[in-house]
Homo-oligomer: A and B are copies of this chain.
Amino acid sequence: MATGTDPSTARSVRSPSVKDVATRAGVSLGTVSNVLNRPDRVSEATRSRVEKAMADLGFVRNESARQLRAGRSSTIAYVMLDASNPFFTDVAQGIEDAAEQADMSLFICNSDNRASREARYLQRLQQQRVTGILITPVDPSHPSLDELSRHGTPVVIVDRVGNTEDHCSVAVDDVLGGRLAIEHLLDLGHERIAFVGGPESIGQVRDRLDGARGALAGTGASLTVVHTSALSVAEGRSAGERIAGLPRSSRPTAAFCANDLLALGLLQQCVGLGIGVPDQLAIVGYDDIDFAAAAAVPLTSVRQPRRDLGRTAAELLLDEATNADHEHQQVLFTPVLVARASTRRT
């Protein structure tokens, strides 16, 4: 019987408003609003009548209208740098936990490392009057972020440190992380170490390298920098080729990679070329993503508290949004080295 003209299946029927509900329940529209927002002020009988009417009509609150009235939405957003890097999806989970707890919606956007896309999203989010924005920016010093803050949209920088005047930030001490990685390798007796990473325009890469250099200072060990053009598995493989090409006598006996994707690529290349890990090359990654532990030679890695990072960032954002006497702060987490087979002493 479901003919095309059956009105019950027509798609463009305006969805019912509070007014419709009010009419059907025989009350004023103010009362319907009270049922929704202050049910205690409505008599039992009226409330159930209104609720019945809502159910009958299939009433769904119009969020746009609410927001318009309220001037603010109950949504926060996370603009992530690279959705294909598990590190960031884990951060997002932490954010989501906090958002859920505060009964806020979370809008996730992926800038995919492109400044233009990031800008487009920021503009849209501002138009939506989101309560606040969490962002791992392509360029943490870009003035558009400060502008957002000054326009009244709270911004929290995640995993970078931005302009400390205008927003909170949550990051992990990458210098310390670099130091931990190198100290671990020094403890194992390595004296020729490679740092695999790049480009150096990325703040994390710089900091981790700085930490590495700091730990090496004064020791007799040497550091070779093997440059990569991105933090990806493919670039890790390519770095592996270059390392393998070095004469055995001068080849590093250990490599510290700027992130786990690189480390996984490097590891794969080593196995393919018959370079024993950790015997001929010990490898330390960074981030401790789940795939690091699951690699065929489980990867030693510097773990960052990813979920906490996200959760804390979200909490700071919500504080800034709701708390009048909020003060910006820069939270710095401490990384931890997780030793696994890829650096096992043999």
Counting chain A residues whose Cβ lies within 8 A of the other chain, the interface size class is 35 or more
Which residues of chain B come closer than 8 Å to A121, judged between CB atoms?
Answer: 105
Among the listed B11, B129, B237, B295, which residue makes an inter-chain contact with A64, where contact means beta carbons less than 8 Å apart?
Answer: B129
Which residues of chain B come closer than 8 Å to A115, judged between CB atoms?
Answer: none
Interface bits A126-163 vs B (CB < 8 Å: 1, else 0)? 11110000000000000000000011100000000000
**Is A90's CB under 8 angstroms from B84's CB?**
yes
Of the listed stretches A65-73, A178-186, A191-199, A245-253, name the one at the interface; the rest are far from the partner chain: A65-73
Among the listed B108, B110, B129, which residue makes an inter-chain contact with A110, where contact means beta carbons less than 8 Å apart?
Answer: B108
A68 to B, closest residue via Cβ: B64
**Is B60's CB under 8 angstroms from A126's CB?**
yes
**Is A268's CB under 8 angstroms from B295's CB?**
yes
CA A126 to CA B16, docked complex, whole Å: 13
A42 interfacial by beta-carbon distance below 8 Å: no
CA A291 to CA B93, docked complex, whole Å: 21
CA A333 to CA B127, docked complex, whole Å: 37
Contact A127 B63, CB 8 Å, known A84-B86, A89-B84, A108-B110: yes
Shortest A275–chain B CB gap in Å is 12
Which residues of chain B come closer than 8 Å to A271, judged between CB atoms?
Answer: 296-297
CA A151 to CA B13, docked complex, whole Å: 9
**Is A108's CB under 8 angstroms from B109's CB?**
yes
**Is B84's CB under 8 angstroms from A128's CB?**
no
Which residues of chain B come closer than 8 Å to A216, judged between CB atoms?
Answer: none
CA A60 to CA B106, docked complex, whole Å: 21
Interface bits A88-113 vs B (CB < 8 Å: 1, else 0)? 01101100100010000111111010
Which residues of chain B come closer than 8 Å to A64, judged between CB atoms?
Answer: 64-65, 67-68, 73, 128-129
**Is B58's CB under 8 angstroms from A62's CB?**
no
CA A73 to CA B89, docked complex, whole Å: 26
CA A298 to CA B295, docked complex, whole Å: 11
Shortest A178–chain B CB gap in Å is 24
A203 interfacial by beta-carbon distance below 8 Å: no
Residue of A105, A150, A265 with most partner-chain B CB within 10 A: A105
Given contacts A60-B127, A107-B108, 19 further A-B contacts (CB under 8 A): A12-B152, A14-B71, A15-B129, A15-B152, A62-B129, A63-B124, A63-B127, A64-B73, A65-B68, A68-B68, A84-B290, A86-B86, A93-B110, A96-B112, A105-B121, A106-B109, A237-B294, A268-B298, A295-B296
Q: List 5 A-B contacts (CB under 8 A).
A: A93-B110, A107-B107, A264-B291, A291-B291, A295-B295
